[in-house]
Amino acid sequence: MRLSGKTALITGAARGLGRACALRFAEEGADLALFDLGGDIDEVPYPLGGADQLEHTAELCRKLGAAVVTATGDIRSQESVARAVEAATDRFGRIDVLVNNAGIVAPSGKDLHEVDEREWAVMLDVNLTGAWRMTKAVVPGMLPRRSGSIINVASTAGLVGYRRFAGYVASKHGLIGLTRAAALDYAPLKIRVNAICPGSVRDDPLVDGRMLVEIARALDVPVQEHEGTFAQGQPANELVEPDDIAAAALWLAGDDSRRVTGAVITVDGGYTVR
C-alpha cells in the first residue's frame, strides 16, 4: 500500500493511461480525484473520454477499495480546472499527487505548413497549457505542507521528432521543458516535478485505450495491422503496456522517489536509445 494516506488527482482519467494509473494507484491505497472532459472537441477528429467512461473508471477503483470523487471539465478553462481541484480538496482535504495525463494526439497527420491556426492552438492548449493550468491550481495547496509530486505524461515525441506531427511534437517537447523549469522552482519547497515519456503503448481494451490506433490513422497505417507495424519499430520488438506506464507513475508518486525531481523517464522499450 505504497500510496496509503495520499490523494492523487489524475487528468484524462476516463480511459487509457489515465485509467491505468487510477487502477494502479487504487491498488496501492490512494484516494482518487478523477478528472476528464466528458465530451468532445471540435478540432479533434476522434471521440474523447466520456462521462460514462469516467464513471466506469471510478467504479473499478472503488471496487479496489479506493475513495473516489469525479469531475468533468475542460483543462483549457481555468475555471473548470479550479472546480476539479476544489472538488478534490473538499472531499479529501489535500492533493498529494497530480498526474497531468490529459492529452490529444490529433489533429495530426499533416506537414507543418498544412496545419491551420486552430489545430495548432488546440494541440498546445490541451497538451501543454492544460498541464500548466493544473499545476498552477494544485501547487498552492502543496506549498504549506512542503510536499507533493507532480507527474507529467509526455511522450517520446518530447525527445525526438516525428514527421507530420509538428503540433504534437512541439507540445510534448514543451511539456518536458515545463517539467524541468517547475522542478527547479519547487525543489526548495520539496515539491517534485517529473515526466514520463511513453513509447508506443498498446490499446488495451481493459482501459478503453485508443491512442495508438489514432496515430495509425493519422499516418495511414492500416488499422488491422497497426500493432504489428509499430512493434517492428521497437528495439524490444513489442509494444509498451499501459500498466508499464502506471508502474512508473506509481514510483514517482510514492516516497521511494523522494529525491527524484526534474527527471524525464522513458518507458519506450529502447526506442529513443537508437
Q: What's residue 56's pLDDT?
A: 98
46 flagged as catalytic = no
Pick the catalytic residue from 46, 168, 186, 271: 168
Q: Could you give the CA distance from residue 152 to residue 100 in angstroms, rounded to a whole number? A: 5
pLDDT in tens, 17-69: 999 999 999 999 999 999 999 999 999 999 999 999 999 999 999 999 999 99
Give per-residue burial for 113-147: e unless 16+ CB within 10 Å, then b.
Answer: eebeeebbebbbbbbbbbbbbbbebbbebbeeeeb
pTM of the model: 0.97
Domain range annotation of the chain:
7-263
CA distances from 226 to 55, 152, 201, 222, 272 (A): 29, 26, 12, 6, 20
State which CATH number among 3.30.1360.10, 2.40.50.140, 3.20.20.70, 3.40.50.720 fits the domain covering 7-263.
3.40.50.720
pLDDT in tens, 201-210: 999 999 999 8
pLDDT in tens, 82-114: 999 999 999 999 999 999 999 999 999 999 999
Closest CA to 73 of 62, 81, 65: 81
Tell me the three cell numbers of residue 43: 478540432
